[in-house]
Amino acid sequence: MGFINAVNTVDGANGLLSGIFTITCFVFTSEITGIALQAALYGASLFLIFNVISGRLFLGDGGSYGIGAAMLLSGLVALDRDIVSLSFLAALYFYPCVDFVVSIGRRILSVKSITAPDNDHLHNRVHNFYKRRFRSKNMANSATGLSIAGMSSGLVLCLYLYDAIPLDSHQWIFVFVAQGVIYATVFIATGARNRMYARLVES
């Protein structure tokens, strides 16, 4: 339930959740035979294209909860069959899990309820960064989703395509750590830039 809710919280930019889900479907379709996974891959790919280009097709809560459940079940099946390691799943599902934990941590440190609204996720910060560089709102939103999906699950996809690390290896934990460093760097940098821009606007 925690993972499914974590997936729902990151559904805030075009191509972010659908990009992660498309990568997940691609990897598992290559490793696990099944019509359901193939259908999910085609559906996720088409949704990703229309979502990024038009920005008018949304998952909504029902869609994001459904994707979260599909990601969770496919990951558990692959883990149960010893196709992947837990470290691989941690790297593949890095963004929803880590951003959810960071968001809860920020609320606790700010003495707020962990269920309180939060508009300071990494994708919110990155979107504010792109919003000042693109005239098109849709382009800024899509650039946010694609760049975050690329830096998290996209990194896993690249290593998978190059067959750099076996899927059942625990060496994926180093990829997870690298993703954490990238996340922290971008989170801090975008926060500083957004604060600096806010001061310039006020002055």
Quick: pLDDT tens for 100-117: 999 999 888 888 888 777
Query: Worst-scoring range by mean pLDDT, 5-9, 121-125, 174-178?
Result: 5-9
Between 147 and 38, the more confident residue is 147
Cα–Cα dist 146/105, whole Å: 25
203 pLDDT more than 70: no
Dihedral in degrees, nearest 10, Cα atoms 123, 129, 134, 139 = -10
Residues 52/14, Cβ–Cβ less than 8 Å: yes
pLDDT tens, residue by residue, 137-163: 999 999 999 999 999 999 999 999 999
Higher pLDDT, 131 or 203: 131
* % of the chain with per-residue pLDDT over 70: 92
Domain ranges (residues) in the chain = 2-202
Q: Residues of the chain with pLDDT > 90: what percent? A: 46
Residue 68 confidence (pLDDT) above 70: yes
Reduce the DSSP state of residue 170 to 3 states and report it: coil
Phi-psi category of 90—alpha, beta or left, where left has phi over 0 and alpha has psi -120 to 50? alpha
> In the predicted model, is pLDDT for residue 61 greater than 60?
yes
